[in-house]
Amino acid sequence: MVSHLTSINPATGTILKEYPISSEKQIASAVKQAQQQFEVWRQTNFKQRAQLFKTISKTLRQHKEKLAALATQEMGKPISQSIAEVEKCAMTFDFYAKNGTAFLKDEIVETNARKSYVSFQPLGIVLAIMPWNFPYWQVFRAMAPALMAGNVLLLKHASNVSGCALAIADIMKKSGAPKGLFQTLLIPSAHVDRLITDDAISAITLTGSTEAGKKVASLAGAHIKKQVLELGGSDPYIILEDADLDLAAKVCVDGRLVNSGQSCVAAKRFVVVKAIRKEFEKRVVALMKSATFGDPFKTENKIGPLARVDLRNQLHQQVQESLSKGAQLLCGGYIPEGQGAFYPPSVLINVKKGMPAYDDELFGPVASLIEAKDEADAIRIANDTIYGLGAGIFSKNKKKAEDIARNQLQAGNCFVNSFVHSDPRLPFGGTKQSGYGRELSIFGIREFVNVKTVFIQ
């Protein structure tokens, strides 16, 4: 039986700390505190909530270097990206502090009643089940809209970033958040069912793999609980014949290597029309070869280690299987000597359906180049996936590219001449097996509310 959660530095393989898991008594106490606080917090007004949000934002910025260093230690993110992640969390709390009132104000509807309107009321306790790849951002982007709507939050974070999970709770405490508004529970994934099925939990938000999403959705659905699921992705980036190839190659490589390639919306499959495939390929390989990997605390390194050795080994196995089925390797594709879960920037060509590099999500710095006959074939290949989280398209004809992005690509986030990323001002989420529901913007804050009709005659 698991008694501790272990945090390991993926760059060195050394144990950072062991954390005792939360006991049944501690879990029950946390749920009770959350229930009690919900009855208080739901009565606060948006001005009061916004004031706390501004303090949280300020506290995050005050402690960003320390928080960033912890994230880099626990999951290997390059330090500059860790700092940027904390800053993004602060920005999101500023955003909801400014816009929460407008997003959730009553909406008058003209009917035959003397008065009728729609009101947005909080649901209760939201259980957030979060991954390790963005240990702060994933939590704060779920927390901000949920709390501004009047809910309270319980966090079950990924086991390998328990230090970050506790640091988030500490930030909330330092900011003066009332007891029970946000709580971190240190529990292994095998124990999360107990919370999902608890009658006190009103809703679940999960960011994770598609397989994890299926399990959570099945259990939550059996108990009629609202969920938002942001799951895996194998984002296609289409490069058309008239694309600016220098721009496309740079953006695609940057999008593939962000967070060492460990992002659900990282650029993963580069779908290139035949006429310009060789020229694009040459640029991509040069950029991938020039991207240095190593100690994530050294700013000259663009790529750190993967979060765990087993994840690195799984990625390598996917590459090897793709090669055994006919793909070709243009760079990378090996396990470096020495300590740490490192993997070099890698490029695969001749990638076909039936290979992991085509069908599956490769969570690491590996790019799959897929040749398309023409524009129509490129769109077909882009949509030929179980996933639908993000997609990109590169063309100098912006009107045509916009039409393809808007009307033909099957994804929740479609970007033209840019790599896919989240922004608190825009809704974020997927379709198909990349999940359902939306985070961020007005759409995210309205996910965990009771959309209530009030009719007065």
Catalytic site residue from 89, 164, 264, 414: 264
56, 173, 51: which is closest to 101 by C-alpha?
A: 51
Residue length of the chain: 457
d(CA 366, CA 364): 6
d(CA 311, CA 314): 5
Catalytic site residue from 74, 85, 230, 371: 230
300, 348, 293, 305: which is closest to 326 by C-alpha?
A: 348
- Does residue 230 carry a catalytic annotation? yes
d(CA 176, CA 174): 5
> Token pair of 43, please?
């009565």
CB atoms within 10 A of CB 300: 8
Residues 168-180 as b/e (b if ≥16 CB within 10 A, e otherwise) read beebbeebebeeb
3-state SS of the chain is CCCEEEEECCCCCCEEEEEECCCHHHHHHHHHHHHHHHHHHCCCCHHHHHHHHHHHHHHHHHCHHHHHHHHHHHHCCCHHHHHHHHHHHHHHHHHHHHHHHHHHCCEECCCCCCEEEEEEEECCEEEEECCCCCCCHHHHHHHHHHHHCCCEEEEECCHHHHHHHHHHHHHHHHCCCCCCCEEEECCCHHHCHHHHCCCCEEEEEEECCHHHHHHHHHHHHHCCCEEEEECCCCCEEEECCCCCHHHHHHHHHHHHHHHHHCCCCCCCEEEEEHHHHHHHHHHHHHHHHHCCECCCCCCCCCECCCCCHHHHHHHHHHHHHHHHCCCEEEECCCCCCCCCCCCCCEEEECCCCCCHHHHCCCCCCEEEEEEECCHHHHHHHHHCCCCCCEEEEECCCHHHHHHHHHHCCCCCEEEECCCCCCCCCCCECCCHHHEECCECHHHHHCCCEEEEEEEEC
- Does residue 65 carry a catalytic annotation? no
- Are 90 and 168 in contact by the 8 Å Cβ rule? The answer is no
- Are 438 and 447 in contact by the 8 Å Cβ rule? The answer is yes
Q: Which residues are catalytic?
A: 230, 264
